[in-house]
Structure 1
């Protein structure tokens, strides 16, 4: 048992769920601004205003480790000093900070796997020290948490990156399949990845997933995200429901860890979307493959590079017909017919 304050303690399960829920919320907070603005910027074009917006939204994504630490601390009713101390350790361990010959550079979201691990470890450090430092707490806690947590996190970061790269290499084998089978596999695989602690965008970029494979992965993600939104709409607020589609379905991460069987409908829906996207010959780039509907990056990229006079019709069918029918059918199948999942399994915690 770990003490939260003078009157309360938390067991390992409660601590783990706080880490999962906190990270899920932080991912949405950090990624949603870019998701909402990227498509609009692509339509408007590049100018001083859109450049400023891009800088702000990209910076917001790089603050994900700090947001994760604060969200976990808030879930455990910790104070500002403790949350900030956790944020320091999580940030320097995330992979966001890169040291080059020109100095330090902040880029990307870092390794979500390591962010989750270090938000857990830094919480343990703070819980272990908070009532032992007395009058020196303000001076000692941030430094000790940063140094111990940071060193642990930097030691584990290469392993977390290796895991993601290994998964990417396994997924890349599907590109040698026939188009429909490839689409089925990639749609299911990327639907899994987008709802896991791994980075679907990072893996797609690492394996240079392009063409029909990229389009299949993207439509698979879009179908699975819409399916999760439909499954949980009766128990979640409208904003949380929309966040699955325009933000990231990673918002369900805590529920998925608690009930892994939810991955069955996710991969089923993703497989439907991916296979039919391959039939429709929807194309994409390594960058667009891992986004789904988020920021309209997938649909806009497909619109720009999918060849053929009938490409606009095929794209509309893929992103409006295939995703909706695939999502609705999967939700009906797994809830009403198979009874393997229930809407309450998708209920999100209130953000307050």
Structure 2
């Protein structure tokens, strides 16, 4: 399934270069690829594996990587250009509305899902991920082992997806953390790229994208990308977990604990 998702993402592209009159073709990794097509390809791979079941018997270990990985992945690579047209069009529309109404759109983007966004939309999407990591860092601090907080800070936020599906109410403080933190984007005019929107604090990709876009005040970058989300996340944790008890501490016990 992982191989199918990798091929379907389109993150590896063939690049032709000419050096001293010699033309060569090499493969280059380009960001995360198309996230939507990645999910669709992975879903098809899972359905294929479930449909095949035990038909191959002991030979399954041989045929599954070929058929589910390479085969379904190849189909995903064929659908990728068409899916990308749709996701890019959606991203262009969102970018247009972000320019027209930066404050509400940045808040909505940070609270939702980013697809092919650039400019302030990309920065807002990055803030959404940074805010999620900040809140979950505090929420898991007393109920999980230290490795969980380290993993969350390094960007493995998806490890908490089972918790969200089991207790959707935890999405409320996460969304509020993102909504408040992302106000820095329209206020300061933060910018990003389509490739940086899906990273947040992971590798400092989103802050570095803002820096490369012309925001050169490093101190302010650290404050708005680290201090603000973690401060707001801590406040949301106190309100929703400690004071109102809307979210119980056990909601944040990681499956990887």
TM-score interval, smaller chain? 0.7 to 0.9
Question: Which structure shows the bigger proportion of residues in helix conformation?
Answer: 1
- Using the TM superposition, give the Cα deviation of residue 226 of structure 1 relative to its aligned residue in structure 2, in angstroms: 0.3
Per-residue deviation at 1:272?
0.6
Q: Tell me by how many angstroms 1:263 deviates.
A: 3.0
Q: Indicate the residue corresponding to 2:21 in structure 1.
A: none
Q: Go from structure 1 to structure 2 and tell me whether the alpha carbon gap of 1:313 and 1:143 turns closer, same or farther (over 3 Å shift).
A: closer
Shift of the alpha carbon at 1:138?
Answer: 5.6
CA shift, 1:220, in A, is 4.6
- 2:109 aligns with one of 186, 189, 200: 189
- Using the alignment, how far apart are the partners of 1:156 and 1:271 within structure 2? 34
SS in 2 for 1:105: strand
Seen in structure 2, the aligned counterparts of structure 1 residues 294 and 277 have a Cα distance that, compared at 3 Å, is same
Can you list the C-alpha shifts for 1:259-289, whole angstroms capped at 9, x where unaligned? 444333222111111114543x263332545
CA distance in 2, matches of 1:129, 1:314: 54
- The residue that corresponds to 2:46 in the other structure is 123
1:295 aligns to what? Answer: 203
Residue of structure 1 in register with 2:132 after alignment:
224
Matched, 1:153 2:76: yes
Of 232, 236, 240, the residue aligned with 1:334 is 240
Would you say 1:168 and 2:91 are equivalent positions?
Answer: yes
The separation in 2 between residues aligned to 1:147 and 1:277, in whole angstroms, is 41
Q: 1:203 aligns with which of 116, 120, 132?
A: 116
Please give the alpha-carbon distance, in whole angstroms, between the structure 1 residues aligned to 2:129 and 2:175: 9
TM-score, normalising length: structure 2:
0.73
Number of residue pairs matched?
Answer: 246
- 8 Å contact kept, 1:223–1:324: yes
RMSD after superposition = 3.6
Q: Do structure 1's residue 94 and structure 2's residue 17 form an aligned pair?
A: no
Deviations 1:85-107 (A, max 9, x none): xx444433332344577657342
Task: Point out where structure 2 has 5 or more consecutive residues left out of the alignment.
Answer: 17-23
Residues 1-352 of structure 1 mapped to structure 2, 5 A cutoff: 69=1, 87-98=2-13, 105-107=27-29, 108-129=31-52, 131-134=54-57, 137=60, 140-146=63-69, 149-150=72-73, 152-154=75-77, 156-158=79-81, 160-162=83-85, 164-172=87-95, 173-177=97-101, 182-183=102-103, 185-193=105-113, 200=114, 203-204=116-117, 208-210=118-120, 215-279=123-187, 281=188, 283-286=190-193, 288-302=196-210, 305-306=214-215, 311=217, 314-350=220-256
Q: Which moved more, 1:215-224 or 1:266-275?
A: 215-224
The 3 A distance-change label for structure 1 pair 343 and 135 is closer
Instruction: Quote the Cα distance in structure 2 between the aligned partners of 1:151 and 1:216.
Output: 33
What is the CA–CA distance in structure 1 between the aligned matches of 2:14 and 2:209, rounded to whole Å? 32
Cα distance in 1 for residues equivalent to 2:198 and 2:65: 36
Instruction: Tell me how far 1:246 sits from its aligned partner.
Output: 2.8
Q: Give the CA deviation at 1:162.
A: 4.7
Q: Which runs of 4+ in 1 moved over 6 A?
A: none
1: CA distance between counterparts of 2:5 and 2:147? Answer: 28
Q: Is the 8 A contact 2:162 2:255 kept in 1?
A: no
Query: Which 5+ residue runs of structure 1 have no aligned equivalent?
Result: 1-68, 70-86, 194-199
State the alpha-carbon separation in 2 of the partners of residues 221 and 147 from structure 1.
31
The match for 2:19 is none
Distance in 2 separating the partners of 1:88 and 1:317: 39
TM-score normalised per structure 1: 0.56
How far apart are residue 228 of structure 1 and its match?
A: 1.9
In the superposition, relative to structure 1, how do residues 138 and 274 fare at CA in structure 2: closer, same or farther (>3 Å)?
closer
Q: Distance in 1 between matches of 2:243 and 2:99?
A: 33
